[in-house]
């Protein structure tokens, strides 16, 4: 009797296990499949790409990748994306750092309100600001410049970056900068030399998210950039060609845009998870 019960229990455990694994396998497959599909499409000869049933085994070719990165303006768009992302991170993070430090050290009612309104920016219908941005940019001759896009992305990114880093700054004991100041540091030096090294993981995480945010921005870039400052995200969406190879080229472009993100996530996964959960749970 007892034995049978244990046997049934064990069988149930195995069943549950099997179910969990199968379900997770399905989730992993669904997550990966679109990416896998784009990758293989970009590597297939065009005649193999759109058959039904799909060709699972094929001779790979790098021709489409070569074409998109050497014979179209895509390198130019890549350069624009790099300028925009790096510019955003370099502007957003130092500014956000100081703001977060300030907000973490001085906790008063108005500051709590300020924090909350910062978060409210997230809810904002961005399209509402698009018209004024567009008109002002045209008037100020900033249309289609990198700096315009950088400033806008920074403005939208700041709430999240500040909020995220503030969580890390909150964990720094007050005594730390104070001790440094007693030892003769100015308050800015204390911040730079003593506090900043302690919160480095937080700053790093905020930088990662800022990078992704700028890299992925679409709507503002679509309207506010033209041939000069257009980034990859807009270029791939607008990319069109008359020829049948269009799909293959487009897939090659998409894979090129995905590749850095995939690498990035694979390497930084732990930082992203830790950073986001940290900020969220503190919030």
How many angstroms from the chain centroid is the CA of residue 139? 31
| 62, 75, 137 from 253: Cα distances, Å | 12, 11, 29
Report, in Å, the least distance between residue 184 CB and another protein.
29
- The region of 21-29, 57-65, 188-196, 199-207 touching another protein under the rule CB under 8 A is 21-29
Q: Which residue in this structure is represented by tokens 């749970």? A: 281
Is residue 97 a contact residue for another protein (CB under 8 A)?
no
Is residue 108 a contact residue for another protein (CB under 8 A)?
no
The interface with another protein within residues 157-186 (CB under 8 A) comprises 158
Query: Out of 80, 85, 88, 250, which residue is the one contacting another protein (CB under 8 A)?
Result: 250
Is residue 225 a contact residue for another protein (CB under 8 A)?
no
The interface with another protein within residues 192-211 (CB under 8 A) comprises none
Q: Which residue in this structure is represented by tokens 């074409």? A: 67
Is residue 88 a contact residue for another protein (CB under 8 A)?
no
Nearer to another protein, 6 or 263 (CB): 263
On the CB side of 109, CA atoms within 13 Å amount to 0
Closest CA to 153 of 115, 203, 210, 96: 210
Query: Out of 15, 18, 23, 86, which residue is the one contacting another protein (CB under 8 A)?
Result: 23
Is residue 37 a contact residue for another protein (CB under 8 A)?
yes
- How far apart CA 99 and CA 157 sit, in angstroms, is 13
The interface with another protein within residues 39-68 (CB under 8 A) comprises 41, 50-54
Report, in Å, the least distance between residue 270 CB and another protein.
8
143 is written with which tokens? 């249309």
Nearer to another protein, 170 or 222 (CB): 222
E strand intervals along the chain: none
Q: Which helix (H) or strand (E) holds 88?
A: helix 74-105
- How far apart CA 227 and CA 87 sit, in angstroms, is 19
Residues 6 or more apart whose CB falls under 8 angstroms from that of 198 comprise: 172, 176
The interface with another protein within residues 111-140 (CB under 8 A) comprises 121-136
Nearer to another protein, 179 or 273 (CB): 273
Is residue 99 a contact residue for another protein (CB under 8 A)?
yes
């Amino acid at each position: 009797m007892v034995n049978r019960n244990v046997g049934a229990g064990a069988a149930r455990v195995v069943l549950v296990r099997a179910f969990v694994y199968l379900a997770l396998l399905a989730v992993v497959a669904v997550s990966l499949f679109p990416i896998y599909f784009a990758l293989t499409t970009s590597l297939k000869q065009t005649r193999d790409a759109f058959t039904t049933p799909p060709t699972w085994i094929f001779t790979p070719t790098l021709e489409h990748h070569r074409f998109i990165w050497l014979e179209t303006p895509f390198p130019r768009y890549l350069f624009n994306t790099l300028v925009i992302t790096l510019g955003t991170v370099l502007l957003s993070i130092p500014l956000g750092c100081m703001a977060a430090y300030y907000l973490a050290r001085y906790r008063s009612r108005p500051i709590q309100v300020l924090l909350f309104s910062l978060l409210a920016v997230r809810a904002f219908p961005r399209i509402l600001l698009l018209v004024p941005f567009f008109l002002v940019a045209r008037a100020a001759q900033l249309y289609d410049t990198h700096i315009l896009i950088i400033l806008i992305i920074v403005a939208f990114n700041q709430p999240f970056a500040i909020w995220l880093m503030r969580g890390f700054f909150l964990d720094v004991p007050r005594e730390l900068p104070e001790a440094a100041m007693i030892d003769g540091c100015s308050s800015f030096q204390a911040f730079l030399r003593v506090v900043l090294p302690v919160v480095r993981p937080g700053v790093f995480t905020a930088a990662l998210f800022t990078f992704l945010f700028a890299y992925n921005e679409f709507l503002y870039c679509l309207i506010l950039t033209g041939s000069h400052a257009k980034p990859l995200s807009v270029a791939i969406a607008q990319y069109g060609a008359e020829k049948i190879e269009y799909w293959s080229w487009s897939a090659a472009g998409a894979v090129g845009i995905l590749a850095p993100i995939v690498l990035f996530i694979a390497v930084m996964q732990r930082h992203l998870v830790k950073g986001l959960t940290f900020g969220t749970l503190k919030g």
